[in-house]
Amino acid sequence: MRTDKPPETPNPVKASAGRADPLVMDMYDLVQRQQIKSARFEARRATAELDHQRRTARQDRDEIHDRVEHLTLVCEAMWALLRDRTGMTDADLDRMIDDLDLADGRRDRKRTATPTRCECGSAIPVGSDQCLFCERPVDRRPIFDRI
């Protein structure tokens, strides 16, 4: 959104101590109306842009929600197959979830990517496929760090 103000038009009545030429006053009114029209146009444009951004954000949120629901369904189906065919229990799954959750030292119900170190000793950011300092390629990361 633009925040710069239009140039201010000097008021001819103030500038002439109350005795402004009617033609100058007409010109002043014309300039003022044009500035008001431009400001209204800019306000409508900014409102339309904001509405578009809100719609896009809502669509993104809904799409993420749908993907999470689908992933949850796929995880549930995989777990049902595994449980039914191996004899593992929900308690086994809970223990493994806790173990993985605590691998980063915090119980936050989130997965944290495994930190990677380059041979040169530098930390390699998650998502990078090479060292930022020596440009050595990263060895294959654990499968869930590649998602």
- The residues that touch Zn ion, with contacts defined as CB under 5 A, are 118, 120, 122, 131, 133-134, 136
**Cβ neighbours of residue 71 closer than 8 Å, sequence gap 6 or more:** none
**CB 127, min distance to Zn ion, A:** 16
Which CB, 80 or 120, lies closer to Zn ion?
Answer: 120
Nearest approach, Cβ of residue 125 and Zn ion (Å): 12
Rounded least distance, CB 103 to Zn ion, Å: 24
Residue nearer to Zn ion on the CB measure, 79 or 133: 133
**Shortest Cβ 42–Zn ion spacing (Å):** 50
The smaller minimum CB distance to Zn ion, of residues 28 and 118, is found at: 118
Tokens 């654990």 belong to residue: 142
Q: Which is nearer to Zn ion, 78 or 120 (CB)?
A: 120
Cα 109 to Cα 100: distance, rounded to the nearest angstrom: 9
Nearer to Zn ion, 101 or 145 (CB): 145
With CA atoms as reference, report the closest residue to 90 among 99, 80, 100: 80
Q: CA torsion angle for 32, 33, 38, 39 (degrees, to 10)? A: 70
Query: What's the rounded Cα separation, in Å, for the pair 96 and 89?
Result: 11
**Cα–Cα nearest to 24, from 34, 11, 40:** 11
- For residues 138 and 135, what is the distance between their CA atoms, to the nearest angstrom? 9
Kindly state the smallest distance separating residue 122's Cβ from Zn ion, in Å. 5
